[in-house]
Structure 1
Amino acid sequence: MSVIDLRGLSCPTNFVKAKLALELLDPGEVVEFLLDDGEPVKNVPRSLKAEGHRLLELKEEEGFYRLRIEKGEEIP
């Protein structure tokens, strides 16, 4: 499982980078994103879920959040 550090990136750049990373995966694969508190942790999980991906875990670490996402099925 890969870990992608999106800390220090503002919205919507962090979402765009997360979306691009998910495009490289096959449906069912899992990836972890590291997110800052505030707007990123509110918006990125919600937006990825709206795109059809599954939120597996959102865990607070020391000063940031760890988001595990399972890639959803491709929508033609």
Structure 2
Amino acid sequence: MQNSAAAPTLLDITRETCPMTFVRTRLALDGLPSGAVLRVTLRGSEPLKNVTRSTESLGHTLLSTENGPDGTHILTIRKH
């Protein structure tokens, strides 16, 4: 199991569109050990809704959502 003090893995998918936003997020999560944290930067309300819903349906935990002034969002996800 990963040390809780380890830095989160960062993924920038601001240039991606659905469904690739979730595909890229899932591939990143699949490559992490259980308990690891992934911070995903994305753009727009549709990717925000889809990535949030899809990762939670797979059993991962959404720790936080930060909204940027430029239409970006940062999701912090803990892998189950």
TM-score, length-normalised on structure 1? Answer: 0.90
Please say if 1:51 is aligned against 2:58. yes
The 2-side partners of 1:40 and 1:8 are apart by 11
Please say if 1:28 is aligned against 2:35. yes
Q: How many residues are treated as equivalent by the alignment? A: 72
User: Sequence identity of aligned pairs in percent?
Assistant: 36
Q: CA deviation at 1:40?
A: 0.4
Please say if 1:67 is aligned against 2:75. yes
Please say if 1:5 is aligned against 2:22. no
TM-score, length-normalised on structure 2? Answer: 0.86
Q: CA deviation at 1:37?
A: 1.6
Gaps of 5+ in 1: none
**Shift >2 Å, 4+ stretches:** none
Q: CA deviation at 1:62?
A: 2.3
Gaps of 5+ in 2: 1-7
2:55 partner SS:
helix
The 1-side partners of 2:9 and 2:36 are apart by 10
Q: CA deviation at 1:61?
A: 1.3
RMSD across aligned positions (CA): 0.8
